[in-house]
Structure formats: structure tokens, C-alpha cells
Structure 1
Amino acid sequence: MCSSGGARRLVMVYSKGVGRMKQLSVVGAAVMLVFGMAASSFAAGFAVIEQSVSGLGNAFAGAAASAEDPTTIFYNPAGMTRLKGQQATAGMHVIFPQSDFKDDGSSAVSPLLGGGALTGGDGGNGGEAVVVPNAYYSINFDNGWVAGLGINSPYGLVTDWGDGWQGRYHALRSDVLTVNINPSVAYKVNDHFSVGVGVSAQYVDAELSQAIDFGSIAYATSGFNSALSGLPQNRDGKVTLEADDWAYGFNLGALIEVDENTRFGIAYRSEISYTAEGDADYVVPNVISGDPLLDGGIKAAFSDVAAKADLDLPATASASVYHRFNDQWAVMADATWTQWSSFDELRVKFADGRADAVTTENWNDSWRYSAGLTYSPSEALDLRFGLAYDETPIPDNYRTPRIPGDNRFWVATGLGYTWTSFKLDVGYAHLFVDNARSNRQAGVDPLNGEDFFKGTLSGEYESSVDIASVQLTYLF
């Protein structure tokens, strides 16, 4: 809701005899507001840890130390020195997210613009099932050197709340895809120490959409004409952002093998910085207010525009341990840090020269902790179990419907079976997600870059995730 001071200032803007076309400056501010919010969700790319099916069964505990197959290229390239000959791995993860929103007093932007509750339904399940494939290849030259190549998707997001839901002005569909091409080399310094390094060429592609409350914009720019008081939330339009870019980074790792049963791994993956370029395409209702001058001005202000934004995907660091007690039992653990605090703002620059749109994010660094157990009843069969706790980086006041999750607790299981030159791995995990509060406040003043025309989305998200995976490795 608007504070009394903010409401008075808004009234003053439209009560000083300013002509209608000057009043359309508020529309220009709203254009920046809408695009800036869409782009902020673009930068909030969701980390995908599901890069190994053998690792999934242990909840990725010991991922930087286990080095069971070529998937170690992603988690710790130094682990390749444990792989014999040539090995090729292909895996597929099917991720089933469930996310339901329960409203808790969401409200329209201001009594001046209609007030009351945000209209619409709860959006149903905002999650959408996705398939995450990955592939790896390694070759050991038997002289201490090993080379490998990984192709995977380390960040991704698909949520779709559907037209007409309460939070439509904050998000409709979010579809973010990354493809990471990661050649790597490793060297075995001696029987106890190996090092590895890789480079990443990473592509990102995003489509993000949300509704726009043109009814409230028209009512405000008309000077609160009482004849238009029924427009707020009744003249919705839409904006869709499509943007892509290539960017580059690196990863490092070291493996310490105390003996044949115990090893430690550390790994680092660099921040990757993008300058994403694309277009914002607007759908504006044919008749907004019935006033040709006002309608024409709004359509002109919300014309399609090219834009670009600098954004960073975070650095990560991991430490892992693996220990085998005997031929049947092994344990492993891992701690991974992600530098989400580097994502403090997103600045969008427009091709037509309008002022930058700046969105504050204020994400926090986060940690993930995991522990796992493997039981091998025979030389050919491994049975895996794992638990993990995954912290969210998102403060409650900055959570959006595009990424509605919170802290997660993993329960995972899986098996691996080896015959001749093949190894088959399957895995399953269920993620218990804490209920996530959201209170995205409407801005007080439409002229200072705040979220004025979207209303305050207040409520709770109830979420969970299921993951089912399969992987085949060939040794030759």
C-alpha cells in the first residue's frame, strides 16, 4: 500500500496543470520498472547440481572426491586421474517440481488506483517438469596426463503460473536454459596427489514473461479521472523478454589420496559474467481507456525495445572426503559454498537511451552439506544412500514467483551395476522444501524506479521436488 506521503506526492504530480503527454512520464518509469523486474529474474538463474546419476544416489556427498566415472569432470577435474583407459558417460535427469501459492493479503498498488486485493487465482502448480541431460568423455594417456570433455547444464529454471493468477504482474512464465562446454585436463603428480583444470564456454538463453496492469497505468496518467476508476486490473497486457549470450569461465581441482581407501578432494568453479542482449516485446490492449491521446501515448511508451544487462552467475567451492572401510562399505561427505552475494543488483541498459533500470537483489552466500553411504554386496553392484541440506540464498523480501523455493532437505538413493564394459546407474531423490514466505512490496512512488504498478504479493509457497535419473557408462 502507498504511504500517505507517497500518495500525496503522486496526487501532486497530476494536479499541477501538467499536460497529458507530460503525464506519460509515469508510463516511461513503468516501462523501466517492468523490464527491470523481468531481467532480475533472468539473472537469478537456478543452480542445477544434477550432473551425475552415480552422485545423485549419495545426494552428491563426496562429489569432489569419489571420482567413480567421467562425471568427475564437472565436480573435480583432478579426479580423472583415477579413471582407466577411455570412458564415455551419458545421463538424463527428469526433475519434477511442485510449487503452490497460498495468498495471505496480497493487495493492489494503492487506494488511488483501485485498492483492494489483487484479483485472480492461485496459479495452480507453478512448477514444470524438465529434462536435464549431460555427457562426459575421458582418456587416460598412461603417462600421468588425462584429458576430458563435459557437456552439461549447470543453471536452469522453468516455472509457469498461467495467465490470470494473482501474481501475474510479478511473473508468468520463466524459462532459462544454460549449456556448458567444459574441456579439462588433469595430471597425477605422484601416487598421492593430482591436479586438474578446465575451461567453460557457457551459453544462456532465457524467455521471461509477466502481465502489465495497463488499467492502473491509464488511470494514473489520466490524473485519476473518476470515469476511469474501473480500469485497474481490468486492462492487462503482457511483456516477454528473450535474451541470450555466451560467456567463459574456468574450474580447478585437487585430489589427495591418503591411501587406496581414503581420499580428499577440493574444487573451485569460477564466476561467469554475461552481457545478455535481447528484446522486450509488449502486448498492449487495443483500447485501454477510450481516450485516443492517452491510449496512443501508452502504446508508444510501451513499444518493443532492445536492451542488454550485465549479470554474474556465482563462483562455487567444494571440499569432499571419501573413505572405504572394506570391500562392502564406504562413506562420503561434502560441503559446497556458493557466492550468491555477488548477485546484488541487475542493471539493464536500453537501446533507445532511456535511463538504466536497476533492480536490487541482495542475495546471500549459501552452503550445501551432504553425507552418503554406499553398500556393495558384490563386485558388480553398488547400493547408494544419501542425505543433504541445501540453504537458500534468497531473503524473504526478495523472493519472486520465478524462484519460489526455500531451504531444502534431500533424501536420495540409487544403484550402480557393472557388466563387461558397461555400467548402468539409476537414482532417485526427494527434496523436502521449507514453506517459503514472500512479501514483494509495491513501491511508494512510480517516479523513483520502485515496483509501483504490480501491487504487493504476499503469501506462502509450498514446494517439493522429485528427481529420477538414469546413466550409462562405457569403458573402452
Structure 2
Amino acid sequence: MISAIVLGLGAGGAHAAGFQLLEQNASGIGNSYAGSAAIAENASTIFFNPAGMTRLPGVNVSAGAAAIRPSFKFSNKGSTGLGGTPGIGGDGGDAGSLGVAPNAYISWELNPDWYLGLGIGAPFGLKTEYDDNWVGRYHSKKFSIESININPSIAYKVNERLSIGAGVNWMQLDADYQRVAPFAVGPGPTYVGDLNAKVKMKGDAWGWNLGVLYQVTPATRLGLSYRSKVKIDADGDTTLTNRSVTNPLAVAGIPRPVNASANVELPDTAIFSIVHDLNSQWQLLADVSWTGWSSIKSLDIQNSGNVPGDRLDLRFRDTWRVALGANYKLNQQWTFKGGVAWDQSPVHDPKYRPTSLPDNDRYWVSVGARYNFNDRTTVDIGYAHLFVKSTSIDNDTAAAKGTVRGDYKSNANIIGLQVSHRF
């Protein structure tokens, strides 16, 4: 069987659970993104809650990047090859890869009531990549996904307490997936060796987002935001090359490349945040967020010609994330940050855990600092370490790929820098 698996499987897990990237700014890393929909400390509020622009007078720009380094180390515990034969190959090395998530934002106060904004970020991404001859190579060898999201926004200050905001989103995904595919010929058919299968795809679509910001008291602020689902219809090609078939006549008729297509409905998200100024120095933050990962039950690939398609049974579940944080203002220049979070994974059954997404529940612990050069320019730096729960896999959902059975030891490190300026 010749097949490929596309969009949404290889985000790596060094971010929000699944393949979503929370790192739409670096200023929130130090708080584990607690208070994200209510803090509105710079123009990056456009992504988390566009209503927060009403707290930013004048013209504000903010830009930064987060470097994300996950680690996924597999230990084989009885994996099998094709037809239940003993699995042959190594443990795959460290499948995690370094990724960078950039962002840029600008907000503009038209008048005291109306605000416009534009945000650019990468809400999904990163990569997993195994050694060439690892035991699970029929499931995946490499997956990378890159995204870009462009988010024009508008906000209205209803009164001194209440603000509302909205935006539209244009998102593009690029995916590159590689695995080893068994090749059979003749009646029976008879297995004669392996092919390398590579799929490259691209797609884009539109979505929208809404936000509300409410100042309950001078010291307490609430934020609520929602981002819609985005359905991506992607197309590209599947390329097949010989890997280990010794008879050149057997592979002479393989079409390469062929057209490929797939679609995926990326999940919607909702965030509820609280920010409370305890006193002139201490600020407390909290966050509860929900992600509708159950929109992705499976991924189905269609290839043209005589190249069979593929179906990956994922059975994702909706997930929750809870974060708590605090800021301490030492003086006019320095503010120090801290935060913790629990982040639930959409993958909950070892049977349906794909090797391209060896994801599990994780805990965030983070620290950071903000430095004010003056009342217009600030620099934020943040660091987070993600402790990922020990992860088992027993994926036998595709007979033509064998069974991957074992455990992953995983973690991730994130460091980011954000520069913000008000004109």
C-alpha cells in the first residue's frame, strides 16, 4: 500500500497541547500565558482578545519571536513490522526539532472609542523527525508544518468599563510529510521492498474571532475571547521513490508525482481570563481555556491515479488548559514574572497516538522579566519548561504499517523575546 498522512500531525508538542502554538507573543511566556485575554500589555492582545486594544492609546507596535525546542525519545517495547513480523530498526533518536514562532502587531487609536489593529503570527507548526531506519518508519519518518495567520481587527470602547472587539483571520498551512511505504506487486500481492513516500501540501482559509473586556473594579479586569474553526482544503503532490526494491522493472511503472488532496477542520478556542492588581507591586493572573480538538476525528488523504489514499484514525478529544501567574513590579524599570499551567492533550488513547504527534498532558513552569526603557518602549523576555507526562503508544490502527509499541520520554524548552513601542 502506498499512502501518506498530511496536515496537522507533526506539530511536536512544545507549545499548547496538540499542534497549536500558544506563542503568539513572547511577553506572555513568563506567566505561562495566564491572563492572556485580559492583560492587554502590548499590541499582541490583537490575537488573544482584540477588545484589549482599547487599553492602548496612540499607535502601538509589538514584535518578537519564541524559540521552541521539544524532545521526544522513543523506547521500543515490542513493535512489529508488516504482517506482525518482529519490528526491525532503532528507536529513532530524538524526534524533536527546534522551531521559531515569530509575531508582529500594530494597533491604532482612531479616536477614544474606536481602534484598529493588524496581527501576524504562526498559530500551528513545528516538526518531528526520526532517524532514517527507525522501527516506526512505516508510520512516519518526518513531518513538518508551517502556518501564517493574518488578523485584521477592530475594537470599540462602549464605556469606561466595557470594550468589545472582533477580527477576521486568513490562515495558510504548508505541510511536508515523509514515511516509508511497503511495495507489493503481482497476484497476492507479493511484498518486494519499500518506497519512500513524500507529500507536500498547501491550503488556506478564513476564520474570525471575537473578544470582550470588562473592568469589574479599578483593580480587577475580566477578558473573554473566542476564535472560530478554520477548515483548510489543501492540495499538492505525493512523490514516490525507490528505497529497497531490487528489481528495477517492479518500480518502473510507479507514477511520480501524483496529485494529492486533504482537508482538516482546525479547532475553535475559547479563553476566560482574570487580572487583579493586588497592590501597587503585585499583579495576579488566571486563565481557563478550551480547545475544540474533537473537530479532528481522522485525516483522509486522496491521491490521484492508481495510488491508494490513506485514513488516519485520531479520535481527538476537546481539551482544557488552566494557568496561574503573577507579576512583581520592582521599580519603574523592572517587572518580574512567573507562572504555572496544566495543559491537556487531545490524544488520550495509546492506540490512536500517532508517531508524528507523540503528545500527552503537560505542566508549564515559567519565569520572565520586563524592562521599561521609558514610558514608550519595553522589552520582555520569558522562559518556560514543559514537563510532559510519560507517554505510551500502542498504535496498530493500520495493518500495512505494523504496530509501534513503546514509551516516549518528552519535554520542551521555550525562550522568547518581545519588543513593544508606543508612538
Instruction: Give the counterpart of 1:259 among 217, 220, 243.
Output: 217
Offset from partner CA, 1:190-223 (integer Å, 9 cap, x none): 0110000011011110111011233xx35xx564
Instruction: Give the counterpart of 1:387 among 340, 351, 360.
Output: 340
> Is 1:441 equivalent to 2:406 in the alignment?
no
> Is 1:432 equivalent to 2:405 in the alignment?
no
Contact 1:404 1:461 (C-alpha < 8 Å) held by counterparts:
yes
Which residue is equivalent to 1:463?
410
Contact 1:40 1:359 (C-alpha < 8 Å) held by counterparts:
no
Which residue is equivalent to 2:285?
332
Which residue is equivalent to 1:41?
9
Distance 1:422 1:43 in 2: 33
Identity of aligned residues (%): 36
Contact 1:109 1:455 (C-alpha < 8 Å) held by counterparts:
yes
> Is 1:367 equivalent to 2:320 in the alignment?
yes
Distance 2:304 2:78 in 1: 38
* C-alpha displacement of 1:43: 9.8
Contact 2:138 2:179 (C-alpha < 8 Å) held by counterparts:
yes
> Is 1:124 equivalent to 2:93 in the alignment?
yes
Residue 182 of structure 1 aligns with an amino acid whose one-letter code is: N
Instruction: Give the counterpart of 1:64 among 37, 40, 53.
Output: 37
Q: Structure 1 regions of 5+ residues with no counterpart?
A: 1-29, 443-450
Distance 1:460 1:122 in 2: 10
**Greater Cα offset, 342-351 or 433-442:** 342-351
Q: CA RMSD in A?
A: 2.1
Distance 2:60 2:223 in 1: 21
> Is 1:212 equivalent to 2:181 in the alignment?
yes
Contact 1:43 1:311 (C-alpha < 8 Å) held by counterparts:
no
Distance 1:291 1:284 in 2: 9
Contact 2:10 2:19 (C-alpha < 8 Å) held by counterparts:
no
Distance 2:220 2:341 in 1: 21
**Greater Cα offset, 182-191 or 138-147:** 138-147
Distance 1:40 1:377 in 2: 42
Offset from partner CA, 1:233-279 (integer Å, 9 cap, x none): xx332111000011110010000101221100000000000110000
Distance 1:124 1:457 in 2: 15
Which residue is equivalent to 1:166?
135
Q: Secondary structure at the match of 1:330?
A: strand
Distance 1:310 1:353, change over 3 A: farther
- Normalised TM-score (structure 1): 0.83
Offset from partner CA, 1:65-88 (integer Å, 9 cap, x none): 111111110100001100111111
Which residue is equivalent to 2:81?
108
Which residue is equivalent to 1:140?
109
**Greater Cα offset, 391-400 or 148-157:** 391-400
As a proportion of its length, which structure holds more strand?
Answer: 2
Contact 1:274 1:311 (C-alpha < 8 Å) held by counterparts:
yes
Which residue is equivalent to 1:9?
none
Distance 1:39 1:353, change over 3 A: farther
Contact 1:43 1:312 (C-alpha < 8 Å) held by counterparts:
no
As a proportion of its length, which structure holds more helix?
Answer: 1
Q: Structure 2 regions of 5+ residues with no counterpart?
A: 13-17
